[in-house]
Structure 1
């Protein structure tokens, strides 16, 4: 019994969130060597849950193994970017986040009490979601759990801890412990979404490359009646902690995030002493002009790293989120990058398992996302070195910039915190185009507003999409050939006809037609008439055909571009490992 894992069954303490303790549901019986074509996901955090929901979009079943019986302890990841909200829309659960979350777009930086920089995140009235949405991780996980519980393809097994792993060419087998005892469970694929201290990563003895930064930070969530807007506030060099900084964020339910750097040499234990923590919280409230009563909900100490695995696939195990990379809190990169991992992996793993793709498609997950992580680490490193200078020279440079910012505007952009952004797969081998300089190749498709509460992404939620930019819908005979050929080949494609002169009649191709008389879509996508755009299931543009620039006919190009995006051989054969 000493090896039996028993998860905490008492609800976690909180002054605003009511924790639910989930029952321990045993795993189904499984004969040796006999396993279902389902994915085993380790970790019921935001990224594991999102992966399961994204796989279910394509008809792939999954089981989630979670060591705890409750959602996240503490608010942790609180900022969802616009791209994350778009991914949640794909998963069919964005509405709960919109209703609970707090949207924002402004950041302000102060030095010694004087405002020295304003950061406006790009936003327009044509956007469905704001640039940032503040919401505690408890709610993020709760809403995703609720969506997963409603999906018949997903089963969550709370209170189950992974203690070992073995792999062969056909499957991965996990040793799993719960209050019911220990057992083995096999699956053709395992997704490791078990966080920064990933058990799977440790069991496989994998190491990350990158840098761990000096300096510790405290996050404290307090409930207080603070009269400030929903903005990201950063105070450098506060009088009570010279050389350090404080971040302030508003959260739902009257909760405020206070995030501050500790003086060098102070231990986490010293920082978390009740009197020390309370004294600093009071000083922060005085600094922001809000000396009000408060209650502490949760606090923790963290440090910053910019690290990544060099490969996100280890035989039958695929890594996502913090199990794959560690990113600093500055720039809201952690959960937002993880959601992009899950969104990239899910469609590729689904099509691989269903025999719709060549073996290189799944490998492209690691290639694309490792490159993304390395670029993010480079960007995040700049923010981290500014927030927590690692050397005396770096601190002198940072302090000089801050001092100059009081009077000189030319240095103020150096205070930009380089927020998380959708990654571009501009050099992906999945791309097909004769116009390599097309600026949007590899980017997420612009989510153009089409009418009252209607946006382009509403129609690109599943499978491949081809946008057909035609001058006149009556010229869509070629489109009909495209659809018919790919239907014959069993290749699913969602065609959308975009025209400036829609008559309102049913067009010959029997597909969705968008009337773009104002040319908003043509302009935003920077395209002329008689152009085709191929969009991946994760809403990234992977191909462009333009009349006069491609030798192939539209139907031949679409056929070949789809095959290229699925890594299928020219002969049409696919291979599933």
Structure 2
């Protein structure tokens, strides 16, 4: 059986060497990003949103080959929308909201992810990593004045210092050195930067191994996550199936103990198992293999993501099991968290300590992701006889006992609340809010009528978030107290990006130039009343909230966040 090519042609990019003097680039850069995958591109786009230029170093000459990451979460889509790249994700990606798990030939779980009338983005879309990278790259190319991509360029050495770093780079045109104030390492699980600095990921590596196969198959089966435990096609094992765009299907199946990995990925051994799975699923169409590789689950993280002027993100910082699709999504969240903080430091409006909060928040998030990912891994690929026995008992009993089915739920990725962030403004009256996001949480979505330039449009609350601090003021008539006009002027004088936006519960006939809650849900959802305010960070996390807010409260919270 011949392998087919992916129904996607990656454009090839040539390397370029900048102006040099004695083998050293003459220009010193503010930020250099190592790794042009989804995380590196997201960092570059995030910095560009704040007007900060960056150099992006990528060893390959095109976007990646192979499906790799395939599931993009609602939270990641929200971030990507702020970067101006979401259109391709929504037009090409396959949205889904749940999945099914089977024990042998019996369905034991049908789960649904949170989805209600408040949302504008799907809980998840399936999209191969080459599409993910291409859509982000398309957005980056529109900002070529701020994002300098160096293709076919590899880091071969780094000299990290307290005031910056020097990277030694290898390109087809020859080696050269680059000086930079900051390095962002997004160079994957085998990070050259991490290794060069002598840093090690810590945690657990699991023995269970999975063969990952991409095939081309035309089918009208709906898009959902499918999991098969001890199926007839692969007895004693676990199989995961995801439908992707362009008639590509991703199949992951567990190798049994004692199977030789080298033999397991040979086409003559893979094809019969895939055919047996498709027969079991009732898929009768013709199919062809595209890509085969081997995967082993790891639950590992660095203890700190900041090392002087070097910052780590994505797989270079942590390796999360694929179960629950936290890998690429957590990396995109890393990038979103880091970009605004690094931009503010580069612009000189925040202290370097702000970057320590990047490490604190994202290490906390990594441990949360690893905790959930570990539970899923131990169920999907039991690490011992005891775990295997427990899984068999749960699956057997879940057929008749619905309450046990939650133990099978893969717990898909969700936004992390930075509950103990050093940036959070303390709540002066704990318990005063009966609803709404706490400091450190992501803004919950809600439809909203937004008025801009005298024109009203039905939109959503997160459309109001931009590369600045945003104060959402819940107003009776669409106005804010006069003291806040002075606050905006004062912060503008300090070059601190800030805007204050009034929200009302209803449309005032005599005053139509205000944003209003046309569904009647927003105020209750946020536990808000007249005079309530939520202060939101550039990444959409709540910084502080008050029922009776003064300008000094908001100014104090922003200054504390920028100089923690």
Q: TM-score normalised by the shorter chain: which range applies?
A: over 0.9
Partner of 2:13: 22
Greater shift in the superposed pair: 450-459 or 120-129: 450-459
CA positional deviation for 1:30: 5.8
Partner of 2:550: 554
Given the alignment, which residue of 75, 80, 88 partners 1:96?
88
Partner of 1:268: 261
SS at match of 2:159: strand
Partner of 1:383: 376
TM-score of the aligned structures, taking structure 2 as reference length: 0.94
Checking the alignment, whether the CA contact within 8 Å between 2:469 and 2:536 is kept in structure 1 is yes
Partner of 2:61: 69
Checking the alignment, whether the CA contact within 8 Å between 1:306 and 1:327 is kept in structure 2 is yes
Distance in 2, Cα, partners of 1:519 & 1:528: 13
Given the alignment, which residue of 28, 31, 34 partners 1:42?
34
Q: Note if 1:105 corresponds to 2:97.
A: yes
CA positional deviation for 1:443: 0.9
Distance in 2, Cα, partners of 1:406 & 1:305: 30
Given the alignment, which residue of 435, 439, 442 partners 2:440?
442
SS at match of 2:283: coil
Partner of 1:527: 528
Q: Residues 27, 269 of structure 1: CA spacing in aligned structure 2 closer, same or farther, 3 A cutoff?
A: farther
Distance in 2, Cα, partners of 1:105 & 1:261: 25
SS at match of 2:514: strand
Checking the alignment, whether the CA contact within 8 Å between 1:440 and 1:525 is kept in structure 2 is no
Distance in 1, Cα, partners of 2:515 & 2:525: 14
SS at match of 1:76: coil
Given the alignment, which residue of 59, 72, 82 partners 2:74?
82
Partner of 2:275: 282
Distance in 2, Cα, partners of 1:412 & 1:441: 33
Q: Note if 1:567 corresponds to 2:558.
A: no
Could you list the per-position Cα deviations for residues 310-332 of structure 1 after superposition, in whole angstroms to 9, with x for gaps in the alignment?
00011211000000000011000
CA positional deviation for 1:285: 0.1
Distance in 1, Cα, partners of 2:346 & 2:78: 25
Q: Residues 129, 501 of structure 1: CA spacing in aligned structure 2 closer, same or farther, 3 A cutoff?
A: closer
Q: Residues 435, 358 of structure 1: CA spacing in aligned structure 2 closer, same or farther, 3 A cutoff?
A: farther
Checking the alignment, whether the CA contact within 8 Å between 1:66 and 1:160 is kept in structure 2 is yes
Distance in 2, Cα, partners of 1:76 & 1:181: 31
SS at match of 1:484: helix
Partner of 2:247: 254
Unaligned stretches of 5+ residues in structure 2:
450-456
**What number of residue pairs does the alignment pair up?**
548
Could you list the per-position Cα deviations for residues 367-416 of structure 1 after superposition, in whole angstroms to 9, with x for gaps in the alignment?
11001101111111000000000011111111111111121112110001
Checking the alignment, whether the CA contact within 8 Å between 1:52 and 1:148 is kept in structure 2 is yes
Matches within 5 A, 1:113-512: 113-151=105-143, 152-432=145-425, 433-437=427-431, 439-451=437-449, 454-474=459-479, 476-503=481-508
Greater shift in the superposed pair: 335-344 or 264-273: 264-273
CA positional deviation for 1:35: 4.3
Could you list the per-position Cα deviations for residues 410-429 of structure 1 after superposition, in whole angstroms to 9, with x for gaps in the alignment?
21100010111111112111
Distance in 2, Cα, partners of 1:183 & 1:16: 37
Checking the alignment, whether the CA contact within 8 Å between 2:205 and 2:298 is kept in structure 1 is yes
Q: Residues 144, 33 of structure 1: CA spacing in aligned structure 2 closer, same or farther, 3 A cutoff?
A: closer
TM-score of the aligned structures, taking structure 1 as reference length: 0.92
CA positional deviation for 1:447: 2.2
CA positional deviation for 1:247: 0.8
Q: Residues 13, 347 of structure 1: CA spacing in aligned structure 2 closer, same or farther, 3 A cutoff?
A: farther
Could you list the per-position Cα deviations for residues 486-543 of structure 1 after superposition, in whole angstroms to 9, with x for gaps in the alignment?
3344322121101225436679xxxx73122553221221222211110000000010
Distance in 2, Cα, partners of 1:496 & 1:66: 40
Q: Residues 544, 15 of structure 1: CA spacing in aligned structure 2 closer, same or farther, 3 A cutoff?
A: closer
Distance in 2, Cα, partners of 1:13 & 1:186: 43
Checking the alignment, whether the CA contact within 8 Å between 2:25 and 2:177 is kept in structure 1 is no
Checking the alignment, whether the CA contact within 8 Å between 1:485 and 1:555 is kept in structure 2 is no
Checking the alignment, whether the CA contact within 8 Å between 2:298 and 2:320 is kept in structure 1 is yes
Q: Residues 461, 407 of structure 1: CA spacing in aligned structure 2 closer, same or farther, 3 A cutoff?
A: same
Unaligned stretches of 5+ residues in structure 1:
1-11, 548-552, 569-577
Q: Residues 556, 183 of structure 1: CA spacing in aligned structure 2 closer, same or farther, 3 A cutoff?
A: same
Checking the alignment, whether the CA contact within 8 Å between 1:217 and 1:261 is kept in structure 2 is yes
CA positional deviation for 1:470: 1.7
